Amino acid sequence: MLAMRSFVIGQPIAHSLSPVLHNAAYAELGLDHEFSKLEVAPSDLSDFVKSLDEDVLGLAVTMPHKQQIMGLLDAIEPLAEAVGAVNTVVPSSKVLSGFNTDVYGIVQAIREAGGAPEGGRAVILGARATASSALAALGHLHIRDVDVVARNFAGPGYIALAETRLGVTTNHIPWRDEARAIAAMNSADVIVSTLPSGRADQWAKLYQPKPGAVVLDAAYDPWPSELAKAARAGGARVASGYSMLLHQACQQVELMTGRSAPVDAMRSALLKATGLSSL
């Protein structure tokens, strides 16, 4: 395969660890490709997409572009369409196709942490793009009883539209209803926090995990988060955002290269980059 270029695009982008994962995969697979970060402002996204050359293998797409880029693509997989967010773009024969690998990343991160009982209860903290992916992931895990805690639920890019497309119903708990939110969290088998770093701290102070619960906090800087600390202290099993990041990148590698992702090599590279002993 000829040498190709790939990028992760977003704003800001300096913090992204995607190059660590993708370049480790390319090296392990013996591919002379290069993956790098590229800061793209929302106002420049359309021109950037139109300028993609034939040597571009693919794009990893992060905030704030996951919804906006959908209108610039030629084809979108049904899952990404339903969730309302694309985090992966693969050009092929001048056709730009969009995919969502966050759903896979969330599923695999929860499974690695010990899994979740079918028919269990879940809480999603937040209601934007990653929350919509979490809702689809919980469906894959056969969890249908879901509470969503957020300030807003409806509007462009919010979870209410994803619920309609996915054909599911959740219980909406307003952010201000602290008692109801904590009661839901304390009885949940799975909690997925999709909030920015620090936003879940107020819930961590009151959270008393259900025995055997799994908590995934997508925010991994700093790690462990206050929510992760509270979960571990209470005996819950914890999945980090790093684990989600690893697995969604594995599926991106497979979509872009057509090769099976070298998970162990990618995990080792991420551990080295973060200084962690485990994800």
Active-site residue flag, 66:
yes
- Return the amino acid letter for 105: G
Contact (Cβ atoms closer than 8 angstroms) between residue 220 and residue 245: yes
> What is the Cα–Cα distance from 36 to 54, expressed in whole angstroms?
16
Contact yes or no for 108/87 (Cβ under 8 A): no
Q: In what order do the strands lie in the sheet with 5-10?
A: 34-39, 5-10, 56-61, 88-92, 95-99, 75-76
SS3 8: strand
Which position among 50, 66, 94, 205 bears the catalytic label? 66
> Which string of b and e fits 76-94 if b means at least 16 CB within 10 Å?
beebbebbbbbbbbbbeee
**3-state class (DSSP) for residue 191:** strand
From the list 236, 238, 230, the residue with the least C-alpha distance to 200 is 230
Task: Round to whole Å and give the CA distance between 58 and 78.
Answer: 19
Q: Which residues are catalytic?
A: 66
